[in-house]
Structure 1
Amino acid sequence: MRETEMFEPLRCWLEGQGYQVSSEVKHCDLVARSAGEPEELIVVEMKTRLCLDLLLQAARRKALTDAVYIAVPLRGSKSSLRKGRALQDLLRRLEVGLLIVRFLQKTTRIEVILHPRPFQPRTARQRRIQIIREIDGRYAEFDQAGLPGGAPRLTAWRQRSLRVAHLLQSRSGAAPAELRRLGAPAQTQQILSKNSYGWFERVQRGRYRLSRAGTLALTSYQDILPDLTPADTPPQTVPQAPPRPGSEHQEIP
C-alpha cells in the first residue's frame, strides 16, 4: 500500500465535514481549513505504518496548529493496531490525534480513535508507591539494566524468598515465627503460603520445608546468598524450647 491511497478517503471525509482540503502544503501531507470563523486548521500526517518518523513529524506540526492528527491504514474490519493502548497514551501526551483509514472489501471507512486535546499529566501514585516499596524491599542490587523481557529478575520478593529458602536449607521443617527469629523477612508467612516459585512444601499445619525446586534455586543463586543477609540479622541458632516440668535431671558424678 502507498500513502497516496489514503489521501482520497481522508479528503472525502474532511470535505464532508465542511473543510477545504489541500495536499502537500509546506511539507504537510494534508491540510484542512474550515470556512467559518474562527478559522480552524487541521494537519494530517500519513504513513503506511506506525514509526518514529511519523511521531516526529506530528510533533513538529504542533508548532502550526493544535489540531494535528496522524493517519495509518488497516485492512479488514477486525484488524487493530499493535500496542494500541500504549500508542494512544503516548499520543495523548503529545496532544496528537489518531485516525484509522480502514480499507474494507467494498468501501473505505475513517475511524477517529483519538482527538488532539490538552494533556493533563497525572502521577500514578499507587505505582509510584509500589516502585519505592520494591526498591526499599531489596537486600541488594544484582540485575543489570536492559535484561531481555523473559529473563527472571531478582525482585524484592524473589530475594526475600531466597532468604527464607536459605534459612530452611539445613532444617527438616520450621514455622514462620522461628524463621523470623533467625532473620527471615517480615513477609515470611506470605512467602511460604503463596509459594510463588514452588520452593517450599508444607509438612504440617504451620510448618514448612524446602522443596526440591527450592534446593535447585539455592544452587543457582549460591553466589549471591551471602548478600541476602541483613546487617542486623541475629545469629542463626534454633531457639530451644524450655524443659517440661519434671523432666529436669542432675548428672551423677
Structure 2
Amino acid sequence: MAIKDETELYAPIKALFTERGYDVKAEVRSCDLVALHPDRYTPTIVEMKKIFTLPLLLQGVDRQKTGAEVWLAVERNRTKKGAHNQRFTEITSLCRRLGLGFITVTFFRTKDPVLEIWCEPAAAFAAEKTRAPIHPIAVSAEESQPYATASPASGKRLKKAAQKLINEFNARSGDYNVGGSTKRKLITAYRERAIQCALALHYHGAAAPRQVKTWTGCPNAATMLRSNYYGWFKRISKGVYELAPSGQAALIEYAEVTAVWAAKFPWADDQFTKLTMSGAVTS
C-alpha cells in the first residue's frame, strides 16, 4: 500500500527509536526526527522521504555536519514501481560508504508497517566505545534541560550545531509535531515560551514583562512581549502588556500545550489543567 505523504513514515519510525530507549521529537530545527538517548553522547537525526532521491542523500550528508548520527528513511512500495524500489542493496552500499543509516518502511492495509534496517550509521558503533553517555538531569518546571550538551566525564563539548539541536529539544515540553510536515504551524520552543507568557497574562491580567518572567521563568519574556511575533499581546501603557483576543484564541488552538504548561505552574488552577478544545477559556 503506497503512502500519500511522508508524514505517514513518522509514527512507525518514532516507535522504532522509542523501543530502543530514545526520546523522540519531530521537526527540531528543520530535522524530520531528532532522537536522544541517555547512554549516547550525540543526537540522532532521521530524514524521511517517500522515495530515495539525490536531495535526500545530500540532506543526510549535510546533517552529518552537526556531528549527529544520521539515518535516511523511505517507503518500500510493494508494487515495486520505479527503479528506486529495485536497488535497495545498492542504496545500502552507498549509505554505508557515507556513514549513513538506512531504513525502509513497508505499509499494509490490514497489518502494522514492517521496518527493515539495512544499515546503521557508522558512528553508532563507535559511540558506545569512545563517548561518555549523557544522562538525564533533574530540572525545574521553568527550566527543562533533560539532556546535557557535554560529556559528564570529560567535559568535552558537542559541536555547536548539535548543541542547538539538544537545546531546542530540551526546551519543548513534548512531541506535538509530525515529522515531514510542510506548511503547518509547528510547536517550537519559541512558540511554547509564547504560550507560557500568554497563559500568565490570561491568569494574572495585565502585567509588566519582569512579572511575566517571574511567573513563567521565561528568560526572554520582555523581548517576546515587545516583539509580539505572533500578535498575541497588546501594550496598554508603558511597560505593561495584556493578552490580546488572538492570544486567547491561541490558548484554545494549542490547548494540549497550554494544559501541559498550566500543570507545571504553581499559580495555575484546575481550570487550566483541565483545558480542552471546548472553545473557551474562562478566568
Q: Mark yes or no: TM-score above 0.5.
A: no
TM-score (norm 1): 0.43
The answer to which structure has the higher helix fraction is: 2
What TM-score comes out, normalization by structure 2 length?
Answer: 0.38
From the CA coordinates, give the structure whose radius of gyration is larger: 1
